[in-house]
Amino acid sequence: MMARGAIGPHRFLSPVQAGLLLLTLGLFGVIVWLGLLGLPAAIESVGAETRILPDAMIEADRDTVDELLATFHRADEAVVRRDLDGVMSLYSKRYNYHDLAKSDVEQIWMALFKDYREITSSHTFSVIRVTTTPEGLLAEITCTGALWATSERGNLRVPIDSWHEEVHQLVKEDGAWRIRGNAGEAPTVLPFGTAPHPLF
């Protein structure tokens, strides 16, 4: 019996290998997708932008909204510093994104920090909803945005990840908001040229 990932007539990729492969294959498709969507060109610039739409639906108090925004700001700052520990501290111990665990995402970030520099992001929130569950507080944030970087090899500014109205889920864990994953089921087949969104 052949081990998973071994060379043979049927080779199976691990979730991390599949994620990295799709991130690579998705670069061109993401460029086209962003152009069709008409996202602001500012997301290509060096720097992070997190904003709430003026007509966003907010179902949370002001202090909680500020805490959630601070979580994304800390994530952006850690990425700019290429601080892997800082980035991973913002993920929940219970993190799961379509079978990608926290340890899998850590490997993806390690690869990104190795191959890219000036990694920046854009987040636009249209819904922020906080509810109480049997496990504690749950925040669901509907977000459109992208992650850009400069390639170490080609010195080109390229899109690494993008998302449109994804619902980020955050939980209150050890006194702080942490990313648990995204709502919704994983698509059986990803459209050609698209990449998964395991990062933010």
Residue 28, domain member (yes or no): yes
pLDDT at 162: 87
Residue 114's domain spans which residues? 15-37+49-182
What average pLDDT does this structure show over 172-184? 90
Residue 66, domain member (yes or no): yes
pLDDT tens readout for residues 12-26: 445 454 444 444 334
Residue 42, domain member (yes or no): no
pTM for the full predicted model: 0.70
pLDDT at 97: 83
In angstroms, the CA 198 to CA 200 distance is 6
In angstroms, the CA 35 to CA 14 distance is 31
Look at residue 145 and tell me whether its pLDDT is greater than 60. yes
pLDDT at 14: 52
The total number of structural domains in the chain stands at 1
Q: What is the CATH number of the domain that holds 170?
A: 3.10.450.50
3-class SS at 7? Answer: coil
pLDDT at 53: 95
Sign of the four-CA dihedral 118, 194, 88, 184: positive
Residue 43, domain member (yes or no): no
pLDDT tens readout for residues 31-62: 333 333 343 333 333 456 889 999 999 999 99
pLDDT at 6: 40
Look at residue 74 and tell me whether its pLDDT is greater than 70. yes
Residue 200, domain member (yes or no): no
Cross-strand pairs, 50: 123
The larger pLDDT score, comparing residue 187 to residue 115, is at 115
Residue 103, domain member (yes or no): yes
Least confident of 10-19, 140-149, 172-181: 10-19
3-class SS at 187? Answer: coil
What average pLDDT does this structure show over 158-164? 88
Residue 56, domain member (yes or no): yes
3-class SS at 100? Answer: strand
Residue 87, domain member (yes or no): yes
